[in-house]
């Protein structure tokens, strides 16, 4: 995998209705599996959803978003609900969702001690690498992706639907892209790098 995938990758929000083969999905997930992880814990698990399973998942997500409008579990994040509804529509258009779980993670609604918090930070960094590997592999295969965190608004509903005690990190929508977005603005190198060498 060259740097072309790194620099060409974009978040895709419009997908064609062409299906994605299991072989391609397997290749994408296999790229994730070789990501580095803290203490080699490999704290990731994927649930691949398509067809009626994807629709059921999204029905639960919609229920959670509606509940959040009335009875917010994340009251300081309420301004993100409009974006979450838009994300839901994008997820409906994508033929496949990959739900990503942290197998060591706890519910975000329980307290953690300092040791547990640092373990969670390390595991979620590992899962970020796992997801990025999948996004880059998908780009190389001509598959568009959208990395989704808006599942947070329906956290309990989705955990219940998935019947899991693992921590829900988010999802990746994937499919053949039906758009070719330009690069979004980035901070400059000098804005983010401080050399102390």
pLDDT tens digits, residue range 152-180?
999 999 999 999 999 999 999 999 999 99
Across the beta sheet with 144-148, what order do the strands follow? Answer: 44-50, 96-102, 167-175, 144-148
Task: Tell whether pTM > 0.85.
Answer: yes
Q: Where are the domains of the chain?
A: 8-179
Name the H helices within the chain: 3-8, 22-33, 51-70, 81-93, 114-140, 155-162, 189-192
Of the options 3.30.450.40, 3.40.50.800, 3.40.50.10490, 3.40.109.10, the CATH number for the domain spanning 8-179: 3.40.109.10
pLDDT tens digits, residue range 100-116?
999 999 999 999 999 99
**DSSP of 113-163:** -HHHHHHHHHHHHHHHHHHHHHHHHHHHTT-EEEEE-GGGGGHHHHHHHHT
The answer to whether residue 40 scores a pLDDT higher than 90 is yes
């Amino acid at each position: 995998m060259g740097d072309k995938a790194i620099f060409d990758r974009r978040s895709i929000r419009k997908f064609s209705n062409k299906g994605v083969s299991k072989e391609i999905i397997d290749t994408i997930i296999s790229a994730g599996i070789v990501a580095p992880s803290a203490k080699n814990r490999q704290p990731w698990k994927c649930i691949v959803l398509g067809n009626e399973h994807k629709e059921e998942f999204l029905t639960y997500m919609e229920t959670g978003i509606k509940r959040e409008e009335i009875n917010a579990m994340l009251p300081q994040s309420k301004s993100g609900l409009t974006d979450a509804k838009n994300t839901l529509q994008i997820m409906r258009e994508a033929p496949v969702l990959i739900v990503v779980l942290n197998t060591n993670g706890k519910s975000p609604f329980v307290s953690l001690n300092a040791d547990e918090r640092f373990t969670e930070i390390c595991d979620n960094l590992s899962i970020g690498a796992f997801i990025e590997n999948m996004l880059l592999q998908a780009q190389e295969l001509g598959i568009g992706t959208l990395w989704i965190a808006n599942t947070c608004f329906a956290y309990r509903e989705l955990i219940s639907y998935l019947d899991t005690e693992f921590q829900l990190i988010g999802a990746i929508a994937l499919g053949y892209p039906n758009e070719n977005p330009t690069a979004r603005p980035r901070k400059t190198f000098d804005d983010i790098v401080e050399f102390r060498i």
